[in-house]
A and B are shown apart, each in its own frame.
Chain A
Amino acid sequence: EDQVTQSPEALRLQEGESSSLNCSYTVSGLRGLFWYRQDPGKGPEFLFTLYSAGEEKEKERLKATLTKKESFLHITAPKPEDSATYLCAVQASGQNFVFGPGTRLSVLP
C-alpha cells in the first residue's frame, strides 16, 4: 500500500532560522512527488514537482530535494509569511495522488 508520512507534525522557527521538512514515502512505481503549501481556509497551492532521485527544485527561499525514499523541503532564512501547512503528495503507478498529513510551519518574527 502506498504511504506518505511527514515530519515533524509542527515546526516553530524564528525568522531567519533555516530548517528542513521531511516527506517519507513508500510507493510502487513513483511517477512524481509534489509539494504544496496550504494557508488556513484555502486550497493547497502547488509548489514543486520532483520526478527522480537526485532532482532538486528551488523557488525563492524553498528548495525541494528527492531521494528514493524521501523528499526534503529546505527553508532558508524563513520569514513570517512562510508560515503555512506544507503538504507532500506522491503519484504512484496507480496515478492517484496520496497525500501526507502535512507539516504546520510557524515562523515567528
Chain B
Amino acid sequence: GAVVSQHPSRVICKSGTSVKIECRSLDFQATTMFWYRQFPKQSLMLMATSNEGSKATYEQGVEKDKFLINHASLTLSTLTVTSAHPEDSSFYICSARGTVGVVDTQYFGPGTRLTVL
C-alpha cells in the first residue's frame, strides 16, 4: 500500500491565490522530505529538500519566497505556492526518505496537479 500520501490530488485556483499541498509519510518517520516538480513527459525536477525542524534547502533557480516549505514533524511537510500564476501550473510530487521493512529509499506521494487560471 501507499507509504506517502499527498493532499489535495488536484487543485484549480485563480491567479494570485496561494495553494498549500500536504505530504505525509504513513507508518514511518521521514528524516528528509523532498519536493519535486514535473512537466509533461519530463523527468522529476528537485525543488527543495527539507529536514524536520530546519529550513529547507532550495535548488538553484527555485524561489524560496514563492515556494514555502514547512517540515513541521517527521511525518508531515507542506509546500505552499504563494501568489500562484499560470506558469506555476504543474505536477508537484513529494517524497519522503525512510525505511519501510528493510528497504531504505525514497517513497513518493501520488502527486498534486496544480492548475492556475
Interface residues of A (CB under 8 A from B): 32, 34, 36, 41-46, 49, 87, 89, 96-97, 99-102, 104
Contact = CB atoms under 8 A, between A and B. Distances in A.
26 contacts: A34-B105, A36-B108, A41-B91, A43-B4, A43-B93, A43-B95, A43-B110, A43-B111, A44-B44, A44-B93, A44-B95, A44-B108, A45-B108, A46-B103, A46-B105, A46-B106, A46-B107, A49-B105, A87-B43, A87-B44, A96-B46, A96-B49, A97-B34, A97-B46, A99-B43, A99-B44
B37 to A, nearest CB: 12
Given A87-B43, A87-B44, A102-B43, A41 B111 contact: yes
Given A49-B103, A96-B49, A43 B109 contact: yes
SS of B interface (majority): strand
B60 interface: no
3 residue pairs, one from A and one from B, having the closest CB atoms? A43-B108, A101-B43, A44-B108
A104 B41 contact: yes
Contacts of A104: 41
B6 interface: yes
SS of A interface (majority): strand
Contacts of A43: 4, 6, 93, 95, 108-111
A44 to B, nearest CB: 5
A95 to B, nearest CB: 8
B113 interface: yes
Contacts of B49: 96
B107 A101 contact: no
